[in-house]
Amino acid sequence: MTKRFFTHLVTPAAALGLFLFTAACTVNPATGEQSFTAFMSPAEEIRVGREQHPKILEEFGGVYQNPDLTRYVGSIGQLLARTSETPGLNFTFTVLNSPVINAFATPGGFVYVTRGLLALADNEAELAGVMAHEIGHVVARHSAQRYSQAVAANLGVTLLGVLTNTPGIGRVAGLGANLYLSSYSREQEFEADMLGVRYLSRAGFSPHAMSAFLGKLRANGALQQRLKGEEGRDPATSLLATHPRTAERVERAIASAGLARVTDPIVARDIYLNKINGMLYGDDPEQGFIKGRDFIHPELGFRFRVPPGFRLSNSAQAVTALGPNGARILFDSAERRDGEPMLYYLTSRWADFLQDTEAIDVNGMQAATGHAQSNAREGTMDVRLLAIAFDTRTIFRFIFVAPVNDARNLSLEFRRTTYSFRRLRRGEAASILPRRLKIIRTEPGDSLRSLAEKMPFEDFRLERFQVLNGFAPGQQPAPGQLIKIIAD
């Protein structure tokens, strides 16, 4: 009796699973393989892509406002898309106003590249390689596969909850944009590479441009780890983190694709470099930007300087400065209520555990500070909090963190950072210009070192120049060659 009871319950689940994973599988015309996309039709992919588009723009700084560059990047994307197995799909190509090196696609043909990626690429073929790979993900319907698998798994868990009378077992977090931006499987990446090199070849580009750019991503990732003092760790950038690929795997995809050799492949290096000449580099002034040890926000009208040996980074959530031995500075903002005193805010609304709290004045602005100790991964840390009343509605906040053994030595430097915070003087904001990518032509006698000295960085100038231009160690530029530098 018991056996018949469970058989009666399990059979519908088995039938549902059999239906979902057999009847709902379709053959993709690009790959020739069956794929499970039961819960997202092509029309649904387009709807989802349109729905996610404004969210993507909001998260990644919006569209980079350069119509000529937008048209140029779009023309390369449309050329590649026309060679795909879905030429009727209305692809949309967007340049995002983000310094992060990234590219991705969402369902329905929405493909995104950042201006950070455009700065690292050295020619049209390398950019085409990135875009062809993303088009491959769209044509293979990888997002639809992942979504359908996630929904099917959720249905299975929900059904199990119903059958076993376990309330809540079927609850799953929302399947939003994160599903489309998370890492693909190794098989999906290989499939996107197979399709991408196919489209590159059909459009007249060398498929090897795809692996060449991956080498630059690796070099840039290693440099970023050096800049952070984290040499030896995984040098994956954001793009490599979401697209786990290697140049060797791309070359294997090229060999597996069985492509005819492209004679006289398109490179278009000079055209490409002229198109990105003058492009914004690094942070957008609207989000504030970094110049050496200074963080400057022309739009909000303030600036401050971090101690020597600290390296600044800027994000939508906070400004961070990382120092030696786990020392760090965090800077963000909070809402001020009804002109409240800073000492009240510090002790009542922000942190009620501080010691030695006091009200201070920071360049004519009401402020308050206090400190405490906290256990962290690096050991016991001394923590100092600082709140500054910038205006009647805005509080700017610093958190200074240092190992207890270094706290005495860093105390003076943190104090200097505190009193470096000031409002920009009248006319000062207009005179502070962001960094831009500049294309120059080398002259006889130019060397890597002499060209790198033109870069407005305090350290690693040569290494930054080599990565930006794809130069191998010891390689020298040819006279009359176009190269990229960063200029204020």
Give the model's pLDDT for residue 6. 33
Scanning the structure block, which residue is given the tokens 């319950």?
9
The strand pairing partners of 487, in sequence order, are: 436
Spatial contact of 364 and 358, defined as CB atoms under 8 Å apart: no
Locate the domains of the chain by residue range. 34-276, 291-429, 436-487
Spatial contact of 89 and 97, defined as CB atoms under 8 Å apart: no
Fold of 436-487: Membrane-bound Lytic Murein Transglycosylase D; Chain A (3.10.350)
d(CA 103, CA 277) in angstroms, rounded, equals 20
**Alpha helices (H) in 123-237, listed in sequence order:** 124-139, 142-163, 177-181, 186-203, 209-227
d(CA 96, CA 486) in angstroms, rounded, equals 19
Give the model's pLDDT for residue 178. 55
pTM of the model: 0.79
Rounded to the nearest 5°, which phi and psi values hold at 163? -70, -35
d(CA 398, CA 409) in angstroms, rounded, equals 18
Per-residue pLDDT of the chain (488 residues; tens, 9 = 90+): 333 333 334 444 444 444 444 445 566 655 656 564 555 778 888 888 899 999 999 988 899 999 999 999 999 999 999 999 988 899 999 999 999 999 999 889 999 999 999 999 999 999 999 999 999 999 988 877 776 656 555 554 444 444 444 443 333 334 444 555 566 788 888 889 999 999 999 999 998 998 899 889 999 988 988 887 766 554 445 566 666 667 788 788 888 877 878 889 999 999 999 999 999 999 888 889 898 899 999 999 999 999 999 999 888 789 999 999 889 999 999 999 988 999 999 999 999 899 999 999 999 999 999 999 888 777 789 999 999 999 999 999 999 999 998 988 999 999 999 999 999 998 888 888 889 999 999 999 999 999 999 999 888 999 999 999 999 888 899 999 999 999 98
Rounded to the nearest 5°, which phi and psi values hold at 319? -100, 135
State which amino acid sits at residue 289.
F
d(CA 356, CA 369) in angstroms, rounded, equals 8
* Cα dihedral sign, 269-127-474-445: positive
CATH number of 291-429: 3.40.1000.10
Q: First-to-last CA distance in the chain?
A: 81
Neighbours of 464 (CB within 10 A): 18
b/e for 271-283, b at 16 or more Cβ within 10 A? Answer: ebbebbeebbbbb
Spatial contact of 137 and 199, defined as CB atoms under 8 Å apart: no
Eight-class DSSP state of 345 = I
d(CA 302, CA 328) in angstroms, rounded, equals 20
Residue 348 neighbours by CB under 8 Å, 6+ apart:
none
d(CA 397, CA 423) in angstroms, rounded, equals 15
Residue 32 neighbours by CB under 8 Å, 6+ apart:
none
Rg (CA), the chain: 27
Eight-class DSSP state of 63 = B
Scanning the structure block, which residue is given the tokens 């098989």?
187
The strand pairing partners of 320, in sequence order, are: 313, 330
d(CA 38, CA 87) in angstroms, rounded, equals 23
139: alpha, beta or left? (left if phi > 0; alpha if psi -120 to 50): alpha
Give the model's pLDDT for residue 46. 87
